[in-house]
Amino acid sequence: MNFEFNEENEKKFNNLLKRYPNKNSLTLPALWMIQYQEGWISQDAMQYLAKRLELSPMDIYSIASFYTMFHLEPVGKYNIQICKTLSCMLRGSENIKHIIENKLGIKAGETTKDMKFTITEVECLGSCGTAPCICINDDYVQNLDEQKVHEILDNLTHEETPK
């Protein structure tokens, strides 16, 4: 098995054990730790977590696959999540999607060959008042218009962190 928590996560994990009446509650926090450590959640990592929580690997898989934010396969370095729900749709999210797709040469749901970009369509991000909105990895980019999208993508292609 080739997954183990790094030192920092090991410490976090042990601290969290004290904060819940039952260690089952650590499933989600621990899956997050794995994802931040590795970029995604591999079968090895799920088996590792199952041991740590005294659950079956199938339990972990069933939970990990229920929540849409866990990546059970590797994703690009920048995961561009486009909100497509109503408030964003009314403010032009469809157009934003087309710009991004055209610029990166992939469709929503795909990853570029160099593993740099993934486009994901997501449901309401809770940013309806500043729609249209996308989220790049952990960061929201709100009140988007065409120009802003071009700027962001150009910056990312040149490796700068999104604002």
Interface residue list for ligand FES (CB under 6 A): 83, 85-88, 124-128, 131, 133
Residues 6+ apart with CB under 8 A from 141: 133, 134, 135, 148, 152, 162, 163
User: Which residue lies nearer to another protein by CB, 39 or 103?
Assistant: 39
Question: Which of 63, 75, 106, 108 touches another protein by CB under 8 A?
Answer: 63
Structure tokens at 28: 């989600």
Q: Which residue in the block uniquely carries the two structure tokens 């499933």?
A: 27
Rounded distance, CA 10 to CA 79, Å? 26
User: Which residue lies nearer to ligand FES by CB, 88 or 119?
Assistant: 88
Stretch that binds another protein, among 3-11, 23-31, 95-103, 109-117 (CB under 8 A): 23-31
Rounded distance, CA 14 to CA 18, Å? 7
What is the three-state SS of 40-99? Answer: CCCHHHHHHHHHHHCCCHHHHHHHHCCCCCCCCCCCCCEEEEEECCHHHHHCCHHHHHHH
Is residue 20 at the binding interface for another protein, with CB under 8 A as the rule?
yes
User: Which residue lies nearer to ligand FES by CB, 60 or 133?
Assistant: 133
User: Which residue lies nearer to another protein by CB, 126 or 158?
Assistant: 126
Tell the smallest beta-carbon distance from residue 3 to ligand FES (Å). 34
Q: At what angle do helices 27-38 and 43-53 cross, to 10 degrees?
A: 150
Tell the smallest beta-carbon distance from residue 129 to ligand FES (Å). 8
47: number of Cβ within 10 Å: 16
Stretch that binds another protein, among 4-12, 95-103, 104-112, 129-137 (CB under 8 A): 129-137
Q: What residue ranges bind another protein (CB under 8 A)?
A: 19-22, 24-29, 31-32, 53, 62-63, 66-70, 84-87, 89-91, 122-131, 135, 138-140
